[in-house]
A and B are shown apart, each in its own frame.
Chain A
Amino acid sequence: MKRIHIILIIVIAVGIGVVVTSITSASTTVTFDKAFANEGKEYQIKGVLDKTKPIEYDPIKNPNLFAFYVFDKKNEERKVVFNGTKPENFEHTDTIVVTGKAVGADFVASKILTKCPSKYTDKKGPQATQQGVEPKEKEFKAVN
């Protein structure tokens, strides 16, 4: 066997190793029912922030504890607890991706990714403002 063959075998082995770890190390995007059926296992959940429920954050008590409610794709709602500060403008968030695991009745997230609807795709359109006056939305309506 030539040296090049040995190298080739090692390369293929490493390649397979990479592919395998990419699968084994990944978490899966699921819905809450799956995460709560497998308590303690890490999952990723994509959902929508429930804006009618309170966003709990009392920095004076604990600046690293932050909780909110999320609807998943199947419309199941759970409380999500995050160990960290409340991200800026969290209230404006629409879609939210949380990575973490079910612990008791709560979903404890170690990572949250928020998608602010206004951040990149503002579908609101230009708001007319006149020298710092509040948006003239009434004016629009009048014209309509």
Chain B
Amino acid sequence: MEYIGEQLIWGKLGNAAIIASFTGALLSAVSYFISNFSKTDSEKRNWIRTGRIGYWLNSISVISIFGILLHLLFNHRYEYHYVWEHSNNEMRMKYILSCLWEGQEGSFLLWTFWNVVLGNLLIWLSKEWESTVMTIYAIVQVFLASMILGIEVTDTLVIGSNPFTLTRLHPDFINMPFTQMADYLTKIQGRGLNPLLQNYWMVIHPPTLFLGFASTLVPFAYAIAGLWRKKYTEWLKPALPWTFFGIMVLGTGILMGGAWAYEALSFGGFWAWDPVENSSLVPWIVLVGAAHVMVIHKNKGQSLSAAFFLAIASFLLVLYSTFLTRSGILGDASVHAFTDLGMQGQLLVYMAFFIILAIVLWVRAMGGFPKHETEEHLWSREFWMFIGALVLTLSAFHITIFTSRPVINKIFGTEWAASSNEIHVYNMWQLPFAFIITGIMGFGLFLKYKKTDGNDLVRKLAPALFTSLIITIAAEVIFKYKVHEIPYLILFFSTTFAITANLDYIIRILKGKIPKAGASIAHIGFALILLGALISTSRSKVISENKSGVDLGEEFKNNENILLPKNDTLQMGDYFISYRGDSVAGVNIYHKVEYFKKDNGVFVKAFTLHPLIQTNPRMGNVSEPDTRHFLGRDIYTHVTYDSKLQERERERVEGRKMVDEEGYSIPTENLLGKGDSVFTSRHLVLLDSIIPITNSAELAQLKLTTQDIAVKAKLRVLSMDGQDYIAEPKFIVRGNFVEPVDVKLEKLGLKFSFYGIDTQNNKVKLKIAERKDDSQFIIMKAIIFPGINILWLGCLIMILGSVLAIIHRVSRKNANASY
């Protein structure tokens, strides 16, 4: 059959580019690999040249795939499954990039794209390391290219998932009726992007995170090259600036994810220790540890095995994280893991290859490491840096073990799952770790390499210790930490100590020379992040407590949602809030929630928030909080339920209007004889009598002639309060037309329609409609997060510090090179 309107050329081009990217990477990997064994310089140069050509072919192909996929998304080419699955016509174009990396194929593409960028930089910069470092890069590119190949080896074994698969040929839709229609393209519409991802953070978070992942490969590749070429110490110098770069980018990427969770998700916070979040945090922690032991070795010649171990582990943990989030294994443990695309085996091979490679090279190199006999002095900088790196490793180990429960279950057949108390258990370990690390961050820089005099140290640290003690006491006055919360207070002290000590170091020791202060500034930033996290999580307060709810006992004291009827004012914490109704903009329904403060008994409007619900009939509605930012605290407001929307949803499902314009519900149809009665939800309706209208004055009033028929039903309505009401709906036949005259009892919210007569049984046909209470309401949750701006500020400062450290390292490197 000829299908109408398909543009197949793009898929063909795309697939050609995929094949080319795979071939290029393979060629590059093989050539670079061989170049390591070349006997002569010219032979080596030739192989390297071929390796570069292969890598460039891979680079051009990857960029082409990217471009083609973007083109298809922009033009809504739904004949391609990836485009159908991740976009539709209604979504805003600014989120088209999010569509690109919503799926597994797209995010692999993003990763391989960053490897293209970094790999080309390394071709240019790595000089004598190129042959080995680029072998690793090219091998990674081979694996990544294979993830989007989509080649069927046998019926059951498919390598990769191809982003250019046609919708009508996709295995899920085989034999679907639409595949038999020549003009199916005019009829289909894309499935659309998950509403949660239609957020600006989702445009920038994934690229940043994947650049972070890609940059962990640099220290890994250098470490492997060091082991391979038995240059056990030389690899550190070129790898170190890249390690700092990785820390900066990956750290930023992770925090952007946190910002997304905070602003767009209903977590009620920026970090939930979700397995997916954790699995990107762990490589970062290990990379930080790696950078520190690398610095120790560069300065003192110790901790070489630790430097190798951590630099290698960081990338291997990225692979492990990839496996966790993409194999579908976290399905029951996390809300935002990818679903299984049947690539579990392939991901395992990818991971296993590099683990085995690292082990083999490590074992080969064992005993060959330069020995360093002298033990560090207890009060030396290198000793405490080492301890810091060790604690970081333990912290990473803890998170990994906890995150790996689904894997452990799979291997050992156990059935462990996260408890509802999981966050508490995480904090129980991570709080002491954070305490030790921030403590070391505080005094570490005041220690000299080799040996420091104890008395001297105390004198140097005194100002910072004193200042942070004062600040901690002030914090206790403000935040009122209770006895069981003393760990928070201790961490508060150690983080403020880390901040003040590093500030002191910049001012007194470095004499304000900012370019040299990269490490201190980055440390201040990191401590600020911890401090902000500590304050905002330990002192976040749900102010939307619902006190009227049924008490479920101490253990389930979780009444965090408040019901807010429209135009009612309720007290919530220090505020009085009022729901003013909703407004619709596209798929979003905004709820106007006004916050008031009471000032001398008078309500003063403080601010207005517009938490929204994004309607999406295909994937489910998603509500997005709105947050009012103040310098010291945020007020977060999240709508969890909208009565109007629920009603509308019911109307959609049942396919009819539930209420008319005046707010009356669908009427009930009743057949009543004289003296019969019927209950409405609040009233009793009794048919008193059926009275034909014969009175000529009354007929004239209705403009009827004597040929017409007019009957009225006299209804008695008894309300709960015991009062009697009378209603007289009329049934009129004017000529050939039936013309009922409805009667409303506004006060009772009832509407009667006398629409027919059962002449055989002498009964009246009566419709009764009740007015729904116009009690539109929302249920919302409001949380105050104090001090969260400290966290975001810390992030910016950490980036600044890292940039300074990189510039410092690179310029020192160049200075050394020129000697």
* CA A140 to CA B556, docked complex, whole Å: 50
A7: B residues at CB distance < 8 A: 387, 390
Q: How far apart are B84's CB and chain A's nearest CB, in angstroms?
A: 6
A19: B residues at CB distance < 8 A: 401
Q: Is B585 interfacial (CB-CB < 8 Å)?
A: no
Interface residues of A (CB under 8 A from B): 2-4, 7, 11, 14-15, 18-19, 21-23, 25-30, 42, 44, 46, 59-60, 62-65, 83-86, 88-89, 92, 97, 99-100, 108, 110-111, 113, 115-116, 118-123, 125-130, 136, 139-141, 143-144
Q: Is B793 interfacial (CB-CB < 8 Å)?
A: no
Q: Is B237 interfacial (CB-CB < 8 Å)?
A: no
A42: B residues at CB distance < 8 A: 419-421
Q: Is B172 interfacial (CB-CB < 8 Å)?
A: yes
Q: How far apart are A97's CB and chain B's nearest CB, in angstroms?
A: 5
Q: How far apart are B300's CB and chain A's nearest CB, in angstroms?
A: 15
Closest B residue to A100 by CB, please name it: B420
Most buried by B among A25, A64, A110, A121: A64
Given contacts A110-B420, A118-B618, contact A21 B429 (CB under 8 A): yes
Given contacts A2-B375, A92-B620, A123-B172, contact A63 B419 (CB under 8 A): no
Q: How many B residues are at the interface, by size bracket?
A: 35 or more
21 contacts between A and B (CB under 8 A): A18-B397, A22-B405, A26-B416, A26-B417, A28-B415, A29-B416, A59-B643, A62-B550, A65-B552, A88-B613, A110-B558, A111-B420, A115-B331, A116-B619, A120-B194, A122-B85, A126-B84, A128-B187, A136-B187, A140-B176, A143-B181
Q: Is B479 interfacial (CB-CB < 8 Å)?
A: no
Nearest first, the 6 A-B pairs at minimum CB distance are A128-B187, A140-B177, A89-B620, A126-B188, A44-B417, A26-B416
* CA A22 to CA B176, docked complex, whole Å: 47
Interface residues of B (CB under 8 A from A): 78, 84-85, 167, 172-173, 176-178, 180-181, 184, 186-189, 191, 194, 331-332, 335, 338-339, 375, 378, 387, 390, 394, 397-398, 401-402, 405, 415-422, 425, 428-429, 546, 548-550, 552, 556, 558-563, 613, 618-623, 640-641, 643, 775, 777, 779
Given contacts A59-B779, A110-B558, contact A85 B187 (CB under 8 A): no
- Contact: B417 with A28, CB < 8 Å? yes
A99: B residues at CB distance < 8 A: 417-420
Given contacts A65-B550, A144-B177, contact A29 B417 (CB under 8 A): yes
Given contacts A7-B387, A113-B335, contact A88 B623 (CB under 8 A): yes
Given contacts A64-B546, A97-B332, A126-B178, contact A59 B429 (CB under 8 A): no
Q: How far apart are B417's CB and chain A's nearest CB, in angstroms?
A: 4
Instruction: Indicate which residue in A14, A21, A126 contacts B394 across the interface (CB closer than 8 Å).
Output: A14
- Contact: A121 with B339, CB < 8 Å? yes
Given contacts A28-B415, A122-B191, contact A3 B375 (CB under 8 A): yes
Q: How far apart are B317's CB and chain A's nearest CB, in angstroms?
A: 16
A121: B residues at CB distance < 8 A: 339
- Contact: B187 with A129, CB < 8 Å? yes
Q: How far apart are A4's CB and chain B's nearest CB, in angstroms?
A: 7
Q: How far apart are B577's CB and chain A's nearest CB, in angstroms?
A: 15
Given A99-B419, A128-B184, A128-B187, 4 other A-B residues pairs in contact with their CB atoms under 8 A: A60-B775, A63-B563, A126-B173, A127-B188
- Contact: A63 with B429, CB < 8 Å? no
B425: A residues at CB distance < 8 A: 21, 25
Closest A residue to B557 by CB, please name it: A83
